[in-house]
Structure 1
Amino acid sequence: MELDGQLLIELAHYKMPFGKYKNQYLVDLPEAYYVWFQHKGFPPGKLGSMMKQMLEIKVNGLEDMIRTIRRDFANR
């Protein structure tokens, strides 16, 4: 998985638009939620793409990197 800086900043600030975790940052959602979507099918479009990327980040233990990006680029 290769991500550019702008995409990481957007991913760090992206919030879940629906459901149980509505309005929570994707990085704060439990990994099991992403695994469930992986088996059932991610939503189409941008959200699905962001969720797939976040699953990879979580599987590799990189959540702190995303939280740091969100903190350091808060005004964007």
Structure 2
Amino acid sequence: MNPEDLLKLVTTEMPFGKHQGTQIADLPANYLHWFAREGFPKGEIGRLLALMQEIDHNGLGELLKPLRGRRC
């Protein structure tokens, strides 16, 4: 993980699916856990979803609060 990945979680929108347009950091936990069970997509979006799922699973969502509103 790169430190920039945390900023990407609050600035990157989900590009497809039920939650298209929602920032990765704002995706519901059950959606992230579904990906963890079924498999994350390939590429950067999958890597970011896996990171967000790990953050959510470990109760570390507060780490992202200072980054909200910042841009890459």
TM range (shorter): 0.7 to 0.9
The percentage of aligned residue pairs carrying the same residue is: 35
Runs of 4+ in 1 over 6 A off after TM superposition: none
Query: What is the identity, as a one-letter code, of the residue corresponding to 2:33?
Result: V
Q: Flag the structure with larger Rg.
A: 1
Q: In structure 2, what is the equivalent of residue 24 of structure 1?
A: 22
Determine if contact 1:27/1:67 at 8 Å carries over to the other structure: no
TM value normalised by structure 2: 0.84
RMSD value, Cα: 1.5
Per the TM alignment, residue 69 of structure 1 is displaced from its structure 2 partner at its CA by: 0.9
Which position in structure 2 is the counterpart of 1:54?
52
Q: What is the CA distance between 1:64 and its match in structure 2?
A: 2.4
Instruction: Name the TM-score, length of structure 1 as normaliser.
Output: 0.80
Alignment partners' CA distance in 2, 1:26 and 1:7:
11
3-state SS of 1:61 partner = coil
Q: 1:1-76 maps to which residues of 2 (within 5 A)?
A: 3-71=1-69, 74-76=70-72
User: Where does the alignment leave 5 or more consecutive residues of structure 2 unmatched?
Assistant: none
Change (3 A) 1:75 1:28: closer
Name stretches of at least 5 consecutive residues in structure 1 with no aligned partner.
none
Residue 55 of structure 1 aligns to a residue whose secondary structure is: helix
The structural deviation recorded for 1:5 is 2.4
